[in-house]
Each structure stands twice: as structure tokens, then as C-alpha cells.
């Protein structure tokens, strides 16, 4: 009796469920359809994508470029250093790009570069502006194809990018060794496991004179004592990097690199200017301290001879002025043929930083990327970009998985920092 009742109850419930199934299925279909429609790209075919305009704005040492299209998709890029006074160059490049398909990034890059052989396309302002344009094209292409830039560059070797903190302990203030130690511990306390300091001090009272690039014994001692204080403070497991900004001669480069050997630096950066790569080789061969250079070289061509002769141990192109993201990857791949690490210089906003991260993720020989302390101290850098993720944690940046670079510029916030007298996104 009990079993019969249970069976009858079960069959009744089963019948009711069967009757309701079409309604439940219809309801489910409707929500799935709504979701599918919402996620379907509303743009026309990528082959129909055309560039309609190129506009720019300037803030301090950076150029920000925005490339617009006929499908309401845009791309943003950044150039640094060699960009002042280049507004009309941006507009000139923009005219060359109009009505072109932005997905042909390499072709558009080559068209502008090769058409400028007699206009300065080998280095300097021409290439720095082209770097911003090229980066914006990658951002635009990623958004149009709904993939992050690293995927367009062939995929990624790593999810997180290690960075070192440039402490901005400026030598013009004549800091003492204890100031170096305190700055190092502050950066370490923020989670950084690699820290950089400047060694060049133009107003050092020990200098022979402001034009003589040979460091005096007093200068050499001052440099050693400053970095020795850092090593004592942070211990043996934190990487220390030092920068000389190309403001000394080969004799000084050899002398200071030898003197710093016991401190086990990750590298000594640009002891001499970029122009004479044979002189770099003399320094590199004279010391066990790794020598790094490259932020003032342009295009992969600028790195070819340097790598061929073993002029440096580490290459550090600036992707916001060396030619852009594709060119940065070419430089990294060229360096990889010589088993040379790739460690990009980076003095841009978080837009440029994340753009660099995509390249760093896409190459096997990446070592470390520069991170600026101004991200923590100057509110402007938070205001001028839009990014809802964490910027940096424990000396690593997680590469964005959003289409394009993953960072947007905030034009309204940028405007109050714009360079006076220069058109702003007009």
C-alpha cells in the first residue's frame, strides 16, 4: 500500500515536471539568448574597419595618442622623452593613416617609417611619435578582435611581470648614505624585491668641473658608500640596480663598475652615452658587474651592432620611444639570439607601463621592467588613466586580460595637466 502510494506520487510529480519542462526550457532559452546577444560584437567585419582620425594630448614628458575608427572603436598609445613640440608630426602621421585598416599594424608602421627616411625616421622625435602611434594601433586591434595585445604578439610566457622600483632619490639634493638606506628600506617595505638608485650627481662638490666627465676619487668613493649602505640595509637577497644616465666617460665606467663588484648589483646602467658602443664593450669586458644600456637607442637596428660585439650584458629599450611594442618584441628576440636578457626602461604612465607588460609577457628572455615611485606619490598618475585592477603587488604586475592594452586614458582628468598652448585632443 505504502509502496503503491509512493509510486503514484512519484509518477504524478514526474508528469507535472514534464508538463512544466517546456516553460522552464523557454525561460532558460530566453536568458541565454539575451546573454548571447549582449556579448555579440556589434561592429561590422574587421576588414571594414577604417581609421577616421588621430588626435593627441601632452602631459609633462608624455605624448598621448588616440586613434579613432568608423566603428566607434579607438586605440590609445603613449610616447615619452623625444616628444616635445611634435603636435604637427602627430597630425602628419594621422593624415597618412586615414582610411587605412588599423589591423595592419606592421604594414602601417613600415609605411610611415620608410616614407620618412629623409625626415628623421632613424631615431629621435620621429620614432618616439611613431612609438605612440604604433602602440595605439595594437590597442585598437586588440579591442576590435576582442583579445589582449599579448595574444596578438603570439601569446605569453608568463602571467606576471616583475618590476623594480626607481626610488627617485635625486642626487641634486646631495643625499647621504643613510638616505639611500632609508629609501631602500621604504621600497622594500612596499613589497619591492628590486630597487634602483641614481649615481650621477652634477653638483657633487668633489667634481673636477661640470664639463669633465671623469669622476674624481671623491666622487667614486661617494658612489660606493651610497650603494654599500643600500646593500647593508636590504641584505643579500634584494636586487640593487644603479643608473649613471650616460654622464661619465669610459675611464669612470670601468673604475666604478670594478669598485661596485663586491656589492653584487643586478646591473650598472648607462655609465657612458649611447653613441659609442665600442666604448661600452671596453667597460663590459673590464668588470663582472653586469652593464645595461639601450633606453637611448632606437629601433632594432640600433641594437644590432651592440649585441653583435657583446657591448652590454642586458638590453633595456624604452618601448615608448624605441619604435613601439612590435619593435620592442623584435629587439627582445634579437637579444635572445645572443642569450642577452631584455629589461625595458619605462618612464611613462600606467598606460605605457601595461603596454610594456604585454611585450614582456610575450618574450622568453624578459628579466625585469622599470616601475616608478611617482605612481605612489603623484595623484595625477591615478587620475589620468582608468583601470579597475591592482597596479602592482609584491614587485609584480599581473598582465591585463582585457581586449587591447587594458588601460584607458581619462581625457577629462588629463586636461587639467595638459601642456599650455598645445592643442588637446583637437
Q: What is the mean pLDDT of residues 270-290?
A: 97
Looking at the domain 46-146, which fold is it?
Enolase-like; domain 1 (3.30.390)
Selection from 359, 302, 309 nearest residue 333 by Cα:
359
Angstrom distances, CA of residue 304 to CA of 280, 311, 335, 364: 14, 10, 9, 19
The b/e string for 33-62 (b: 16+ C-beta within 10 A; e otherwise) is: eeeeeeeeeebeeeeebebeebbbbbbeeb
Evaluate whether 234 touches 219 at the Cβ level (below 8 Å). no
Evaluate whether 49 touches 102 at the Cβ level (below 8 Å). yes
Higher pLDDT, residue 237 or 23: 237
Residues 11-21 pLDDT 10s? 344 444 444 44
Q: Is the pLDDT of residue 152 over 60?
A: yes
Classify residue 239 by its DSSP letter. E
Evaluate whether 372 touches 345 at the Cβ level (below 8 Å). no
> Domain spanning 151-402 has what CATH number?
3.20.20.120
Residues 209-261 pLDDT 10s? 989 999 999 999 999 999 999 999 999 999 999 999 999 999 999 999 999 99
Q: What is the pLDDT of residue 44?
A: 56
| Topology alike, domains 46-146 and 151-402 | no
Beta partners for residue 345, in sequence order: 318
Band of pLDDT at residue 110, cut at 50, 70 and 90? very high
Lowest mean pLDDT among 54-58, 121-125, 167-171, 319-323: 167-171
Q: What is the pLDDT of residue 210?
A: 87
Report the alpha-carbon distance of residue 371 to residue 407 in Å, rounded. Answer: 16
Maximal CA-CA distance, the chain: 111
Q: What is the mean pLDDT of residues 39-48?
A: 62
The b/e string for 158-172 (b: 16+ C-beta within 10 A; e otherwise) is: beebbbbbbbebebe
Angle (CA) 219-225-228 rounded to 5° is: 140
Backbone angles phi, psi at 69, to 5 degrees: -135, 175
In terms of C-beta density within 10 A (0-12 exposed, 13-18 middle, 19 or more buried), how is residue 372 classed?
A: buried
* Domain residue limits, the chain: 46-146, 151-402
Is residue 197 classed as helix, strand or coil in its secondary structure?
strand
Kindly report the average pLDDT of the chain as a whole number: 91
Residues 6 or more apart whose Cβ sits within 8 Å of residue 189:
none
Q: Is the pLDDT of residue 52 over 90?
A: yes
Band of pLDDT at residue 39, cut at 50, 70 and 90? low
Cell 612609438: give the residue. 131
Q: What is the pLDDT of residue 45?
A: 74
Selection from 308, 309, 313, 230 nearest residue 268 by Cα:
313
Q: Which residue pairs, CB below 8 angstroms and at least 24 apart, start in 176-185? A: 176/226, 177/225, 177/226, 177/228, 177/229, 178/229, 180/226, 180/227, 180/229, 180/230, 180/233, 181/229, 181/230, 181/232, 181/233, 182/233, 184/230, 184/233, 184/234, 184/238, 184/240, 185/233, 185/234
High-pLDDT (> 90) share of the chain, %: 86
Evaluate whether 175 touches 226 at the Cβ level (below 8 Å). yes
Q: What is the mean pLDDT of residues 342-351?
A: 98
Amino acid at each position: 500500500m505504502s509502496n503503491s502510494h509512493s509510486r503514484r506520487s512519484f509518477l504524478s510529480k514526474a508528469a507535472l515536471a514534464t508538463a512544466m519542462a517546456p516553460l522552464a526550457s523557454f525561460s532558460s532559452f530566453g536568458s541565454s539568448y539575451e546573454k548571447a546577444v549582449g556579448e555579440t560584437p556589434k561592429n561590422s567585419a574587421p576588414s571594414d574597419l577604417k581609421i577616421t582620425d588621430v588626435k593627441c594630448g601632452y602631459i609633462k614628458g608624455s605624448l598621448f595618442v588616440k586613434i579613432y575608427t568608423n566603428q566607434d572603436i579607438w586605440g590609445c598609445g603613449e610616447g615619452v622623452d623625444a616628444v616635445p613640440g611634435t603636435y604637427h608630426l602627430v597630425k602628419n602621421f594621422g593624415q597618412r593613416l586615414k582610411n587605412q585598416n588599423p589591423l595592419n599594424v606592421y604594414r602601417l608602421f613600415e609605411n610611415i617609417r620608410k616614407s620618412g627616411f629623409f625626415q628623421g625616421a632613424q631615431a629621435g622625435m620621429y620614432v618616439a611619435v611613431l612609438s605612440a602611434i604604433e602602440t595605439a594601433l595594437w590597442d585598437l586591434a586588440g579591442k576590435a578582435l576582442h583579445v589582449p595585445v599579448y595574444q596578438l604578439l603570439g601569446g605569453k610566457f608568463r602571467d606576471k611581470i616583475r618590476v623594480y622600483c626607481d626610488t627617485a632619490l635625486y642626487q641634486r639634493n646631495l643625499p647621504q648614505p643613510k638616505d639611500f638606506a632609508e629609501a631602500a628600506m621604504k621600497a622594500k617595505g612596499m613589497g619591492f624585491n628590486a630597487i634602483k638608485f641614481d649615481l650621477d650627481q652634477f653638483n657633487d662638490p668633489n667634481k673636477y668641473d661640470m664639463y669633465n666627465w671623469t669622476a674624481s676619487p671623491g666622487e667614486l668613493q661617494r658612489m660606493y658608500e651610497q650603494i654599500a649602505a643600500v646593500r647593508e640595509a636590504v641584505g643579500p637577497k634584494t636586487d640593487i640596480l644603479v643608473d649613471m644616465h650616460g654622464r661619465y666617460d669610459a675611464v669612470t665606467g670601468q673604475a666604478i663598475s670594478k669598485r661596485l663588484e663586491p656589492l653584487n648589483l643586478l646591473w650598472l646602467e648607462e655609465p657612458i652615452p649611447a653613441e659609442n658602443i665600442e666604448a661600452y664593450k671596453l667597460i663590459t669586458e673590464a668588470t663582472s658587474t653586469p652593464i645595461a644600456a639601450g633606453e637611448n637607442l632606437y629601433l632594432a637596428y640600433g641594437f644590432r651592432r651592440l649585441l653583435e660585439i657583446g657591448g652590454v650584458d642586458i638590453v633595456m629599450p624604452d618601448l615608448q620611444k624605441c619604435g613601439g611594442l612590435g619593435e620592442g618584441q623584435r629587439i627582445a628576440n634579437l637579444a635572445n639570439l645572443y642569450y642577452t636578457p631584455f629589461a625595458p626602461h619605462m618612464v611613462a604612465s600606467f598606460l605605457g607601463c601595461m603596454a610594456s607588460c604585454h611585450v614582456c609577457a610575450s618574450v622568453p628572455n624578459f628579466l625585469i621592467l622599470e616601475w616608478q615611485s611617482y605612481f605612489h606619490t603623484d595623484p595625477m598618475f591615478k587620475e589620468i588613466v582608468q583601470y579597475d585592477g591592482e597596479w602592482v603587488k609584491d614587485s609584480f604586475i599581473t598582465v591585463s586580460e582585457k581586449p587591447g592594452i587594458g588601460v584607458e586614458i581619462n581625457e577629462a582628468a588629463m586636461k587639467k595637466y595638459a601642456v599650455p598652448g598645445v592643442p588637446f585632443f583637437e
